[in-house]
Structure 1
Amino acid sequence: MARGATGRSGGVGGVFTGIGLLARGLGLVLARPKLFWLGMIPPLITSVLMVVLLVMLGMNLGSIVDALTGFTQAWGDVGSVVRAVVGVVLVGAAVLLMVLTFTTITLALGDPIYEQISRRVDAEFGPLPPEPSEPVGAMVGRVVRQSGATIGLSLLVAVGCFAVGLIPVVGSVLAAVSSALLGGRLMVREITGPALERRGLLETADRRPVLQGHGAMMLGFGVPVFWLLSIPGVAVLVFPAAVAGATLLVRRMRGEDTGPGAGRTEKGGRGK
């Protein structure tokens, strides 16, 4: 068994633990081909939408940059550099916002599929937690409220990273690092939803104590997921694995079993 007293793992070891959980999640969904293929459908739909939006941004990028930096027209070469930087940072902020909203939209589209993937992973390592009782109306209201809050927070992060990117010399690098770190944390908060809800942690405030104290492990898991989901074709393949890995992440943070073969309850060992 891989049960710890607190399930905590910090520092560099925690980062590698998070990366390893993502890799294990991939292995778990590949062992269930039907669920893996079903899990690719929602991110495929969302990816098409995001690519269309990104192409539209690219087609209108020049006009948007001109509107934002019209005052630099008389600055000569310096103005050209400023406009180029603004264009790059604007695209980066847009990608950040798209990746974060991508997760929210995809989870909503594929909720039954990802709930099943998460359940299968939980069943692989121990008895399933008792299902929380929540009226349908309350559940719908909660999901809408939480999704709206996530999109609003994602927009705030994207605007903040855009502003950081405008800092001379180091802005672009700081914006890229900030978007990865903040995006990774937001990604974990979203994608651990199915496993946390199964444990009765329905509200964001209820989930916060579980996530606290695991920053390194969350980043080790969330940052690679964030970067992989920013690549449209790769995102389709990664999303089912990320949901499975997120379930392992929740088990690890709560000190539950994550060892190979621990508490396997599915008939015949593995689902089809």
Structure 2
Amino acid sequence: MTDIKTIGVVGAGQMGRGIAQVAAMSGYEVFVFDISKEGLDFGLQFIDKQLGRGVEKGKWDQAFVDSTKSNLTGITDMAKLNTCDLIIEAATENKKIKFEIFKQLDEVAKPGAILASNTSSISITEIAAVTKRPEAVAGMHFMNPVPVMKLVETITGLETSEATISAVEAASEKMGKTVVRADDVAGFAVNRILMPMINEAFYTLYEGVADAKGIDNAMKLGCNQPMGPLELADFIGLDTCLAIMEVLHEGLGDTKYRACPLLKKYVTAGRFGRKVGKGVYEY
């Protein structure tokens, strides 16, 4: 399967709704699935608002918005993904949840359909192994916020075919993204570099080297980063950062990937970042 016309997105949260928006804007017919009707409605309403703001700012006209919206269909029945050529899973960064989703997708997806995961760190080989089509499973790691960030990191599992990864990369490029292909090693390329930096920022705060604002200003003004590492962690979600660090630590077995105790403490306290109004900073 290389001729992708219809895309399914599993999860209408922050990443899923962004992927769905970009895919629909690129002319794909898109089915957005969420187990929660409330979550699905919120995700579609969010896309609608984003498209409306684009019209207000002169990025695109109303005809384009209407066309994009006509490409989007929200569903709460996973079986309705059975017409999709490519299904992109964008659920929470949790192995058990992703494995269960892929078992279900393998049952409902049509023969030849490609199954992709937006995972930022979990092994594609492991995910593919729970299906009966491991050659048709790949990683498709979008960056947040999806409509803004230009990168898609594609990941090949041990059994991923060249036809599958080529089709995934072609779809990414049609969505206006630049592709970087990475091997299936814990953290891939982006988070192998990014998360240890964020984790080290937490150690710097934990050890009292500088306060949070000082650490972020040092990296923004000294290294020309658009966001400081602690601010970025709040934006990503501290729970997600911790989950990725634990995957790195488990997968690579090196103590340098040990999650900072302060990061663990914040997550234990429910301080997940912007999405709950409190992380390193309060919002």
Higher strand share: 2
Higher helix share: 1
Bin of the TM-score, shorter chain as denominator length: under 0.3
Q: Bigger radius of gyration, 1 or 2? A: 1
Q: Which has the higher contact order (CA 8 A, sep 6+)?
A: 1
